[in-house]
Chain A
Amino acid sequence: MGKRLKVASNGPLLLFLLFLLFLLQPVAATASSGGGGGPDDPAAGWDHLFHEMLIDITVIGLVFALVTLYLMVKYRRKEPGQQGTPVRLSRGAMLGWALIPAFAFMADDFYLALKGWDLFNDYRNVPEESYEVKLESRLWNWSFTYPNGVQTMDELRVPEGKPVVLRMTSADVVHSLFLPDFRVKEDSMPGRITYLWFYPKNRGEYVFTCAEYCGLLHSNMKGKLIVMPAEDFFAWLEEEAKIKGG
């Protein structure tokens, strides 16, 4: 678009062209995104999609704000009695001003929504090889039960490099397990079993915490996620089982 626009008398036209620009913007985003990579880490997918979303809404916001600012400055009152010049729209222009921005905006939204849906499926389809831990929340702690019956409180240890699925319920009120570093949360509640899964790729310690208001110690309902090398993890699990059994 090298051609210089006659912005002075064509505010709406400018607005209109910029909306067309939104329409093209996701296409540009596709061109720049690499694709590829492992399909299944929702946290990485989240970061990627959020980044794209952030660019998208920033562009839309800036364009809208700049056009508004331009109109605000351009059409300020020059003399006291001055009136606005009525803008009469033909039926076609009326509909155009409704349908074209709506279409462009939706095209952009649904383009991102499609990716969002894809990512949602990653979040909700638990990989078959996942390691399953049961979780029961109560006022105000989290208790985890491993497949061999070992239980821990406010501490979840998992093997590195293996997807982990939590099957969750609650003994009393609604809580929500939130793993900020893994970009995921899901409520746990009495009478239902909910689940979430995450992919602990790197060893280390992470925070999990409660995200659904549950009274006095809500903000204190936190714990540690410890991602360990697989062999260390299974050794620890066996050791714990022995202690419990013996």
Chain B
Amino acid sequence: MNTQPGGIGRTLKEWIFTTDHKRVGVLYLIGSLAAFVIAGLMALLIRIELAEVGATITTSSTYNVWLYFHGAAMILAFQIPALTGFFANYFIPLMIGARDVAFPRLNALSVWLFWMAIVLALLTFVIPNPPDIMWTGYPPYSTTYTPGNTAFYTFTVLLFGFSSIAGGVNLITTIVKMRAPGMGWNQLNIFVWCILGAFILQLIFVPVLGSAVTMLSFDKYLGTSFFSPAAGGDVLLYQNLFWFYSHPAVYVIFLPFIGVVFEIVSTFARQRPFNYKVAVYGGIFGTVLISGEVWVHHLFTSGMPGWIRTGMMVTTLLISIPVGLMMISLAGTLYKGAIEYRTPMLYGVGFIFLFLIGGLTGIPHAMVSLDLHLQDTHFVVAHFHYVMAVAGTFSIFGGVYYYLPKITGRMYSEGLGKLGFWVTFVGVNITFFAMFIVGLRGMPRRYFDYSQFPELEGLHQIQTYGAYIIALGFAITFIAWIHALVAGEKATGNPWGSKSLEWFTPETPPGHGNWGPELPKISEDWTPYDYGEK
């Protein structure tokens, strides 16, 4: 079906029916960036609404739909697909020296399901009763009392879930079975390990989310009573099932994005990742191991028994060890490096500081007693925006800049790229730092209005100004990308001088089959990070 050997197809049909992992990856990128733009717009509208006490630009019911869409789309349609869809699909086969993924047609199915899910999610703005149940969809509100369409939520989540399971089966097989001749486990890029970890989590936990949201629609439309106490069900059952998936989902996002940053930092510091084995076996697999045992910290104020709350406090604190090891490894990579600060690297080191703030503000949440005040306030909103939303977006943006020359064969404008970075960096810190303070003072999340806290209006305004700055930063970044596509200089095959395999394809952008007639041969002492003398 891929009649053209070059990386970029000419006709729409070639794109839609493609089984080439690189095109599938690009399709994932386009879809997830589209979701990002729309969900980001929702965030801006939300901030404008909150700038003043009282209703300003919309009604409560519309606002709740924005919030629902912003949360659900950013997680399910932007971050997970951009990281495990785009980056993984495009670069795993290149990094391990394979010609494609193990099951190219399954890959095509996965991206089709993803696009259907995107379309379904976007229909939120068209259908008469859009879901307003937030991305968490707690019953009994979502089953009995909401005016919105819960089935829409269920099917959107299921489609994203199926897409991700297909991707997971595919990429795990690819990593295990299709490494280039001679490539041993300790010669993998950190990013490859991260994707392996992330997809192990997806395969274990997505089915739990799938069953939870399916039971939700059964309860609402088919008259079952899984979550209805009146008929012997239990509302907390759903919350447990939901977070049993959705906490590991945080690591499904975290692992790939820190993996991307490892690749960027290592390349621009011309240095191998500090303490590779500990970062991989301790950091990544430690995270995978513990991430399924911490979900009750989302239920610290849900009337769960005291013993399980304190138990999950301990596991939650434990998970800071593997994450901390990865952070030490990441910062340690700078040590004795030769660092060049191009745009991707700015995002890479910016990530370290933003993730640091996000990670450390998670510790008060882990303390069950402190969380009794902080839970469900803007403090937790600020925390997970720093740790997931902002850090994740910085990683994705940095990654897109980093790989832009490889994917498109074009170079971006360094000036525009750096300007976009700084504007965004300033904006996120204004918005989300002020959000911590507002949360600490008692502002609950998911509020349309805050007439009971009129004293917080000033801080809310600051956050809204920050949001304008963020929007400006994003706009500059998108302009920089479009400028690169349209008018960018021609890029060389390995503009950063990286040692990693994905930069050594014979063509740029890589052609179909990636490697020409013969697969790369990997010698025993090769690593993707062979900087400096041996």
Contact = CB atoms under 8 A, between A and B. Distances in A.
A187 B375 CA distance: 11
Interface string B136-155: 10111100111000000000
A105 B324 contact: yes
Interface residues of A, number: 83
A139 interface: yes
A77 B342 CA distance: 11
Contacts of B204: none
Interface residues of B, number: 89
Nearest to B318: A106
Interface in B200-238: 229-230, 233-236
A241 interface: no
Given A101-B325, A116-B313, A85 B336 contact: yes
Contacts of B452: 207, 209, 222
Contacts of B335: 11-12, 71, 75, 87
Contacts of B341: 76
Contacts, number: 261
A210 interface: yes
B334 A75 contact: yes
Contacts of A49: 367, 369-370
Nearest to A189: B235
A64 interface: yes
A192 B441 CA distance: 29
Contacts of B230: 190-191
Nearest to A172: B145
A210 B447 CA distance: 9
A217 B60 CA distance: 7
B334 A184 contact: no
B532 A85 contact: yes
B519 to A, nearest CB: 27
Interface stretch (A25-33, A144-152, A155-163, A173-181): A173-181
Interface stretch (B86-94, B110-118, B352-360): B352-360
Contacts of B136: 213
A204 interface: no
B132 interface: yes
Interface of A: 11-12, 15, 42, 45-46, 49-50, 53-54, 56-57, 60-61, 64-65, 67-68, 71-72, 75-78, 82-87, 89, 94-95, 97-98, 101-102, 105-106, 109-110, 112-113, 116-117, 119-124, 139, 172-174, 176, 178, 180-181, 183-187, 189-192, 194, 207, 209-220, 222
**Which are the 9 A-B pairs with shortest beta-carbon distances?**
A191-B229, A180-B442, A84-B271, A194-B303, A116-B367, A219-B447, A119-B369, A71-B334, A82-B338
Given A15-B328, A42-B369, 4 more contacts: A49-B369, A85-B532, A110-B317, A123-B372
